[in-house]
Amino acid sequence: MIINMERRKFDLLSDADLGAACFEPLILTYKKEMSKENDSAVSEQFYSRLSSGQKALFMFYVYYNHACKSLVELYWWSTYFRAQPKTWSAIKGGLEYFEDRELLNILEEIDLVLERHHYPTNLKEFNVKREELDDNKDLLDCLELLNIRFNKTAPFSIRKISEYIRSNRAEFVHFVD
C-alpha cells in the first residue's frame, strides 16, 4: 500500500500536506473496499496490509479529520471511537508509535472524562447524540478545555508525523520520477 509520488512533490509538501497526501490514498482504498462489503473482516484485512507507520498515520487522521472540526465533533467522535475498543486503542497506539505523548495524554483525559460520565464502551449501547453535550455542563466544561488543548497540540502532532514520514519515507512513499 506504499503510495507513488514524485520526489519533487514530496520535498515541497508542507507538514500538513505531506500527512494528508500519504493518508488520502489509504482512506480512498478503505472506503472503496468497505463500499463493496461493509464488514469488520474487510476492515481488518485492509488494516493488515498497512505498514506499522501507515497504521499509525491512518488511525491518527481517521480521528483527527473528524475531531478537529469543532468541540461537538471532538465529543461525538471520541465517544464513537471509544465505543469501539480496538479502534480507540489503535488511535492511541498510533500516537504512541509517533511518540506523541502530548496528544496521547489529551485522549487519555478524554477517555477518563467519558468514563466518569458513564459513556458506552461498546457499540451495542451506543446511542450518543451530538446535541447531548449541551445538556451536561460538567462534561461540556471539561471537554471545552480538552478541545482547546487538542487544537493547540494537533499542529505539533502533524509536524511530528511529517518528520517521521520524511525520515522513514520508504514506509509510506515510493518515488516515481
| pLDDT tens by residue, 39-70 | 788 889 999 999 999 999 999 999 999 999 99
Q: What confidence score (pLDDT) does residue 125 get?
A: 93
pTM over 0.85: yes
Helices and strands per DSSP (H, E), number in the chain: 8, 2
Q: Average pLDDT of 25-30?
A: 95
- Distance separating alpha carbons of residues 13 and 15, to the nearest angstrom: 6
Please enumerate in sequence order all residues whose Cβ is within 8 A of that of 23, keeping only pairs 6 or more positions apart, or say none. 57, 58, 61
Q: What confidence score (pLDDT) does residue 36 get?
A: 87
SS3 118: coil
> What domains are there in the chain, each with its CATH number?
7-169 (1.20.1420.60)
**103-134 confidence digits (pLDDT tens):** 999 999 999 999 999 999 999 999 999 999 99
Q: What confidence score (pLDDT) does residue 177 get?
A: 83
C-alpha cell at 33: 473496499
Report which of 92, 72, 93, 87 is spatially closest to residue 146, judged by C-alpha positions: 72
C-alpha cell at 91: 488511535
- Please check the confidence at residue 1 and state whether its pLDDT lies above 90: no
**Ranges assigned E (strand) in the chain:** 3-5, 173-175
